[in-house]
Homo-oligomer: A and B are copies of this chain.
Protein backbone atom coordinates (compact mmCIF):
# COMPACT_ATOMS: atom_id res chain seq x y z
CA UNK A 1 0.00 0.00 0.00
CA UNK A 2 1.18 3.46 -0.85
CA UNK A 3 1.04 6.72 1.04
CA UNK A 4 -2.58 7.53 1.69
CA UNK A 5 -4.24 10.85 1.13
CA UNK A 6 -5.86 11.39 4.51
CA UNK A 7 -8.71 13.77 5.28
CA UNK A 8 -6.98 14.99 8.43
CA UNK A 9 -5.09 18.27 8.12
CA UNK A 10 -2.91 17.32 11.04
CA UNK A 11 -2.00 13.90 9.72
CA UNK A 12 -1.27 15.23 6.26
CA UNK A 13 0.95 18.03 7.46
CA UNK A 14 2.80 15.57 9.62
CA UNK A 15 3.27 13.23 6.66
CA UNK A 16 4.84 16.06 4.73
CA UNK A 17 7.01 17.19 7.61
CA UNK A 18 8.28 13.66 8.16
CA UNK A 19 9.07 13.16 4.51
CA UNK A 20 10.94 16.40 4.16
CA UNK A 21 12.78 15.77 7.40
CA UNK A 22 14.08 12.46 6.10
CA UNK A 23 15.46 14.28 3.07
CA UNK A 24 17.28 16.87 5.18
CA UNK A 25 18.54 14.31 7.68
CA UNK A 26 19.93 12.37 4.75
CA UNK A 27 21.84 15.39 3.55
CA UNK A 28 23.21 16.06 7.02
CA UNK A 29 23.98 12.42 7.76
CA UNK A 30 27.34 11.91 9.38
CA UNK A 31 27.75 15.61 10.07
CA UNK A 32 26.88 15.21 13.73
CA UNK A 33 23.91 17.54 13.40
CA UNK A 34 20.23 16.91 12.96
CA UNK A 35 17.97 19.05 10.83
CA UNK A 36 16.41 20.83 13.77
CA UNK A 37 19.79 21.49 15.31
CA UNK A 38 21.06 22.98 12.09
CA UNK A 39 18.05 25.26 12.04
CA UNK A 40 18.84 26.41 15.55
CA UNK A 41 22.45 27.09 14.59
CA UNK A 42 21.30 29.12 11.60
CA UNK A 43 19.05 31.13 13.82
CA UNK A 44 21.69 31.75 16.46
CA UNK A 45 24.11 32.75 13.73
CA UNK A 46 21.80 35.37 12.30
CA UNK A 47 20.32 36.48 15.61
CA UNK A 48 22.81 36.12 18.45
CA UNK A 49 22.00 36.61 22.11
CA UNK A 50 18.51 35.20 21.92
CA UNK A 51 17.07 33.90 25.14
CA UNK A 52 15.78 30.36 25.36
CA UNK A 53 12.19 31.52 25.14
CA UNK A 54 12.86 33.86 22.25
CA UNK A 55 14.45 31.06 20.31
CA UNK A 56 11.53 28.79 21.13
CA UNK A 57 9.07 31.36 19.85
CA UNK A 58 11.06 32.05 16.73
CA UNK A 59 11.17 28.36 15.87
CA UNK A 60 7.63 27.68 16.98
CA UNK A 61 8.53 25.06 19.53
CA UNK A 62 7.64 24.75 23.17
CA UNK A 63 10.03 26.39 25.61
CA UNK A 64 10.86 23.02 27.12
CA UNK A 65 11.73 21.70 23.69
CA UNK A 66 14.04 24.63 23.12
CA UNK A 67 15.68 24.06 26.48
CA UNK A 68 16.50 20.48 25.49
CA UNK A 69 17.60 21.39 21.99
CA UNK A 70 19.97 23.98 23.37
CA UNK A 71 21.29 21.64 26.02
CA UNK A 72 22.36 19.22 23.30
CA UNK A 73 23.90 21.97 21.21
CA UNK A 74 25.74 23.23 24.23
CA UNK A 75 26.93 19.76 25.14
CA UNK A 76 28.36 19.45 21.65
CA UNK A 77 30.29 22.66 22.24
CA UNK A 78 28.51 24.55 19.50
CA UNK A 79 26.95 27.28 21.60
CA UNK A 80 27.16 28.74 25.06
CA UNK A 81 24.78 30.57 27.29
CA UNK A 82 25.30 33.51 29.55
CA UNK A 83 23.07 34.79 32.29
CA UNK A 84 21.45 38.09 31.40
CA UNK A 85 20.63 41.19 33.39
CA UNK A 86 17.44 39.41 34.29
CA UNK A 87 19.13 36.50 35.94
CA UNK A 88 16.43 34.06 34.95
CA UNK A 89 17.29 34.47 31.30
CA UNK A 90 19.90 32.54 29.36
CA UNK A 91 21.27 34.30 26.31
CA UNK A 92 22.71 32.07 23.64
CA UNK A 93 25.52 32.51 21.18
CA UNK A 94 27.34 30.21 18.82
CA UNK A 95 30.84 29.18 19.75
CA UNK A 96 33.61 29.45 17.16
CA UNK A 97 33.14 25.75 16.60
CA UNK A 98 29.42 26.24 16.15
CA UNK A 99 29.94 28.98 13.63
CA UNK A 100 32.44 26.89 11.74
CA UNK A 101 30.15 23.88 11.64
CA UNK A 102 27.21 25.96 10.52
CA UNK A 103 29.29 27.41 7.71
CA UNK A 104 30.64 24.02 6.76
CA UNK A 105 27.20 22.43 6.56
CA UNK A 106 25.53 25.24 4.72
CA UNK A 107 26.21 23.70 1.30
CA UNK A 108 24.59 20.48 2.40
CA UNK A 109 21.55 22.34 3.58
CA UNK A 110 21.44 24.21 0.29
CA UNK A 111 21.64 20.91 -1.54
CA UNK A 112 18.65 19.70 0.46
CA UNK A 113 16.76 22.88 -0.38
CA UNK A 114 17.52 22.36 -4.06
CA UNK A 115 16.62 18.70 -3.94
CA UNK A 116 13.30 19.66 -2.44
CA UNK A 117 12.69 22.24 -5.15
CA UNK A 118 13.66 19.75 -7.81
CA UNK A 119 11.13 17.21 -6.59
CA UNK A 120 8.28 19.69 -6.20
CA UNK A 121 9.14 22.41 -8.60
CA UNK A 122 10.30 25.79 -7.44
CA UNK A 123 6.89 27.44 -7.52
CA UNK A 124 5.13 24.67 -5.70
CA UNK A 125 7.87 24.50 -3.11
CA UNK A 126 7.62 28.22 -2.48
CA UNK A 127 3.84 28.06 -2.26
CA UNK A 128 3.97 25.21 0.22
CA UNK A 129 6.46 27.04 2.37
CA UNK A 130 4.41 30.20 2.36
CA UNK A 131 1.20 28.37 3.16
CA UNK A 132 2.92 26.42 5.94
CA UNK A 133 4.25 29.56 7.51
CA UNK A 134 0.88 31.24 7.33
CA UNK A 135 -0.73 28.24 8.98
CA UNK A 136 1.89 28.11 11.71
CA UNK A 137 1.51 31.84 12.31
CA UNK A 138 -2.24 31.81 12.51
CA UNK A 139 -2.33 28.80 14.76
CA UNK A 140 0.40 29.70 17.19
CA UNK A 141 -0.76 33.25 17.75
CA UNK A 142 -4.29 32.33 18.69
CA UNK A 143 -3.45 29.22 20.62
CA UNK A 144 -1.38 30.95 23.23
CA UNK A 145 -4.26 33.16 24.31
CA UNK A 146 -5.78 30.95 26.98
CA UNK A 147 -7.85 32.56 29.74
Contacts and interface: CB of A to CB of B under 8 A. Distances in A.
A136 B16 contact: yes
Given A17-B14, A125-B9, A136 B36 contact: no
A interface residue count range (under 10 / 10 to 19 / 20 to 34 / 35 or more): 35 or more
B19 A139 contact: yes
Given A36-B14, A39-B11, A128 B119 contact: no
Contacts of A8: 24, 39, 42, 109, 113
A140 B129 CA distance: 18
Given A8-B113, A57-B1, A120-B138, A22 B131 contact: no
Nearest to A17: B17
Given A10-B23, A119-B142, A137 B3 contact: yes
Contacts of A3: 57-58, 60, 133, 136-137, 140-141
A100 to B, nearest CB: 20
15 contacts: A3-B137, A4-B43, A6-B59, A8-B42, A9-B116, A10-B17, A10-B39, A11-B59, A14-B21, A15-B132, A16-B17, A26-B143, A119-B135, A124-B134, A127-B131
For the complex of A and B, 6 pairs with smallest distance between CB atoms: A17-B17, A16-B132, A19-B139, A15-B60, A15-B136, A4-B58
